[in-house]
Amino acid sequence: MPIRQSDCWILTGYPEGMPNDATFRRESRPVPPAGEGEVLLETLYLSVDPYMRGRMSPVKSYVAPLQPGDVIGGEVVAQVVESRDARFVAGDLVLAPLGWCTAGVLSGAALQKLSLPAGRASLALGALGMPGLTAYFGLLDVGRPRPGETVLVSGAAGAVGSIVGQIARLMGCRAVGVAGSEEKVRWLTEELGFDAALNYKAHEDLREALAPLCPSGVDVYFDNVGGTVSDAVLGLINLRARVAICGQIAQYNAKNPPRGTRPFATLLVRRARAEGFIVFDFKERFPEAQRRLADWVKEGRLKVRETVVEGFENAPKAFLGLFSGENTGKMVVRVR
């Protein structure tokens, strides 16, 4: 039976500072019939990611801003309901740029067929999707760790950070994580195999607290967070250290350009490199990385945990929870 309506979450306007419930409006939108080459989809899981905050602002970033009235963009795991593209049949699971909607019609060219079992399909939004690829290329290609080096990752218990530390271990590095609760710290060290981790909220002088966890200093800093956590880590970087700037979640909701300790003098004295990157710069190498990530997951060498929020109605709440660290591992919303 064709689906005629989709529930969607709409951006009401650009939030100043932290978004809140009023930033989002739920709306029913008509779903057109699938035309030639198009596919009718029903969402199973939708993704909430910190980068989405960047699109809720009129300022040009590395992704185009949303306009007020737009559906919140993003990838979903969806099931094909009806297909007019020969490559898909009803029941197929796909990765689709459908945004925060329960259903919709997209061109088959925009879809990626998933070979994951339905129970594991949400991995395509996490360890085997954009966050996993971000960890992979950011660490290996920007951070370029060598065996024996120390890799420190901030936001270590997040979708990206938890994979960064595990890949660092697979590369023969010492992996140190900074996270936001004692429970996350235990997860990182006891389950994921991080060599050390620390709850930044429990320490006044973070640099002093981190120093004994990094007895040989820090060679690669994978930065998801920015702010005072980064100040502390930069105090520990070694000669020729590399800083892979992946995210600055501590600043995404700032109303004014955030001020803090200037880092260039440290980069100079340590002859270190800090480099921003985006996963799409590595697009042509996605298949290679996805194969390796999938193998590691299959072999149990890459452990994955998700924070699953139940119900489409809770998508904004899940998203807002990213900024208070309510997720351990990837945060996804189960829609159906």
Q: Which is nearer to a copy of itself, 195 or 223 (CB)?
A: 223
CB atoms < 10 A from the CB of 167, how many? 26
The contacts of residue 158 (CB under 8 Å, 6+ apart) are 131, 224, 327, 329, 330
Bridge-based pairing of strands 218-223 and 150-154 is parallel
Q: How many CA atoms lie within 13 A of 132 on its CB side?
A: 25
Nearest to 237 by CA among 265, 266, 195: 266
Under 8 Å between Cβ of 225 and 246: no
> Which residue, among 44, 36, 55, has the nearest Cα to 105 in the 3D structure?
36
The residue range among 68-76, 91-99, 193-201, 240-248 that interacts with a copy of itself, by the rule CB under 8 A, is: 240-248
Among 87, 201, 271, 291, indicate the residue that binds a copy of itself (CB under 8 A): 271
**Residue at token pair 């607290």:** 209
**C-alpha to C-alpha distance for 257 and 270, rounded to whole angstroms:** 26
Identified binder of a copy of itself from the candidate list 7, 170, 277, 290, rule CB under 8 A: 277
Q: How far apart are CA 232 and CA 221, in angstroms?
A: 11
Type of residue found at 2: P
Q: Which is nearer to a copy of itself, 9 or 136 (CB)?
A: 136
Output 220 or 246, the one with its CB closest to a copy of itself. 246
**Contact between 298 and a copy of itself (CB under 8 A)?**
no
- Pull the structure tokens for residue 69: 């009235």
211 near a copy of itself, judged by CB under 8 A = no
Inter-residue contact 207 to 234 (CB < 8 Å): no
Cα separation values, 94 from 9, 105, 112, 296, 319, Å:
21, 13, 5, 22, 22
Q: How far is the CB of 133 from a copy of itself (least distance, A)?
A: 15
Q: How many residues bind a copy of itself (CB under 8 A)?
A: 35
Quick check: 255 binds a copy of itself (CB under 8 A)? no
Which span (64-72, 79-87, 192-200, 224-232) binds a copy of itself, by CB under 8 A? 224-232
Query: 57 to 96, contacts with a copy of itself by CB under 8 A?
Result: 61-62
Tell me if 270 contacts a copy of itself by CB under 8 A: yes
- Contact segment (CB under 8 A) with a copy of itself among 6-14, 26-34, 270-278, 327-335 equals 270-278
CA distance 319 to 331: 8
Which of the stretches 107-115, 191-199, 253-261, 321-329 binds a copy of itself when contact is defined by CB under 8 A?
Answer: 253-261
Quick check: 251 binds a copy of itself (CB under 8 A)? yes
Span of 7-15, 54-62, 88-96, 299-307 interacting with a copy of itself by CB under 8 A: 54-62
Among residues 42, 49, 219, 223, which is the contact residue for a copy of itself, using CB under 8 A? Answer: 223
Supply the minimum distance, in Å, between the C-beta of residue 260 and a copy of itself.
5
Under the binding rule (CB under 8 A), the answer on residue 263 touching a copy of itself is yes
The owner of tokens 């829609």 is 335
> Is residue 264 within the footprint of a copy of itself (CB under 8 A)?
yes
Residue of 27, 190, 281, 310 interacting with a copy of itself (CB under 8 A): 281
**Residue (114 or 274) nearer to a copy of itself, CB:** 274
SS3 39: strand
Coil, helix or strand at residue 138? helix
Element (H, E) at 150: strand 150-154
| Interface with a copy of itself, residue 276, by CB under 8 A | yes
Q: How far is the CB of 141 from a copy of itself (least distance, A)?
A: 12
Contact residues toward a copy of itself (CB under 8 A) are: 54, 61-62, 223, 226-227, 230, 243, 245-248, 251, 257-265, 267-278, 281
